[in-house]
Amino acid sequence: MNDRAVVELDGLTVRYGRLTAVDNVSLAVPKGSVYALLGRNGSGKSSTVRCLLGQRRASGGGVRIFGLDAWRDRRRAMVRIGVVPENPDVPPTTTAERVERFMAWVTPRWRREEFFSRLQGFGVPRRQRFDRLSKGQQRQFAVALALSSSPELLVLDDPTLGLDAVARRDLYEELIGDLADHGTTVFLTTHDLAGVEGIADRVGVLEDGSLLVDEPLETLKARVCRLIWTETSDVSSKRIEAGLQHLDVISSGGAGGATGAVVGGFSEIGFGRFRQETPVEVTRVEPLSLEEIFIALCGEERGGRS
């Protein structure tokens, strides 16, 4: 166990009968960091979160939180965790005021004023029944609830689902503020890649249950980029392909004489070798957004495993 890791997955494997949803995944989330786990629908994110929260026993390997086994020591671990589930599980007929009284009774580090302040900032009424709130307001309610319990670890399962652009911005501002004020560690899954790009320290990418990427966001963005060049008639496509091997090409293509490639292993040394061995006119080296990198690695959305 890494002493600085709040969450550690060690060879986590999840099976449903013959189907392997999560396949030997290992990663660590350092204290005070924001880890974003990304993947298309069916990539294994939900199964990973269930194991992390002790809701499902791993088929192989395991999860440790604060050095505790997430399955065997769930009760001890959960008192230190705030959770925003994909589907908020607040009783439908209750109100924020009733929930607040309950939380003050069961949560030693409950922050009453912060809870109501967050709800006010989100524009969520404190005396309205939960089932009469909009889906976006219900999710904001759940976020305020989780943040106000003084969690050492915050687990967010697609927290911006159902929120409009303004609400998504407000949510990320709340997260950033909480991180700055309390040093909370965050583990989240999300489809909002543009939003999470502004707060994530480290990202993991799941594809068909396997972990394709696990590294700091800035490192990922430095090595995955797009090259644009102009071909000449005396340079064969085979020669270009050979040169691209120095940069770990992910995809390539072009039209009208201009050609491009997304590479996954950009470095100055590899780029120098490509230009030396492939005499083409490189016109641009373009950085990519997290969303563009994700699409290059995983392609478009599809259904599948959970």
pLDDT for 106-122, tens place per residue? 888 899 999 999 999 99
**What average pLDDT score do residues 42-49 get?**
93
Residue 78 has pLDDT above 70, yes or no: yes
SS3 for the chain is CCCCEEEEEEEEEEEECCEEEEEEEEEEEECCCEEEEEECCCCCHHHHHHHHCCCCCCCEEEEEECCEECCCCHHHHHCCEEEECCCCCCCCCCCHHHHHHHHHHHCCCCCHHHHHHHHHHHCCCCCCCHHHCCHHHHHHHHHHHHHCCCCCEEEEECCCCCCCHHHHHHHHHHHHHHHHHHCCEEEEECCCHHHHCCCCCEEEEEECCEEEEEEEHHHHHHHCEEEEEECCCCCCHHHHHHHHHHHCEEEEEEECCEEEEEECCCCHHHHHHHHHHCCCEEEEEEECCHHHHHHHHHCCCCCCCC
Q: Does domain 225-287 have CATH number 1.20.140?
A: no
**What average pLDDT score do residues 7-17 get?**
97
| pLDDT at residue 151 in the model | 93
Q: Which CATH architecture has domain 5-215?
A: 3-Layer(aba) Sandwich (3.40)
Nearest Cα residue to 227 out of 178, 256, 263: 263
Confidence of residue 251 (pLDDT cuts 50, 70, 90): confident
**What average pLDDT score do residues 35-41 get?**
94
Tell me how long the chain is: 306
Confidence of residue 300 (pLDDT cuts 50, 70, 90): low
Residue 306 has pLDDT above 70, yes or no: no
Any idea what the Cα angle at residue 39 is, between residues 159 and 180, rounded to 5°?
40
Half-sphere exposure of 41 (CA within 13 A, CB side): 5
Residue 234 has pLDDT above 70, yes or no: no
Confidence of residue 304 (pLDDT cuts 50, 70, 90): very low
* More reliable by pLDDT, 164 or 186: 186
Lowest mean pLDDT among 6-15, 49-58, 203-212, 255-264: 255-264
Residue 179 has pLDDT above 90, yes or no: no
Residues of the chain with CATH 3.30.70: 225-287
Nearest Cα residue to 54 out of 66, 46, 63, 45: 63
Find out whether 6 and 30 touch, Cβ atoms under 8 Å. yes
Residues of the chain with CATH 3.40.50.300: 5-215
Confidence of residue 259 (pLDDT cuts 50, 70, 90): confident
Ramachandran assignment for 208, one of left (phi > 0), alpha (psi -120 to 50 degrees), beta (any other): left
Confidence of residue 305 (pLDDT cuts 50, 70, 90): very low
pLDDT for 49-74, tens place per residue? 999 999 999 999 999 999 999 999 99
**What average pLDDT score do residues 225-237 get?**
74
* More reliable by pLDDT, 39 or 256: 39
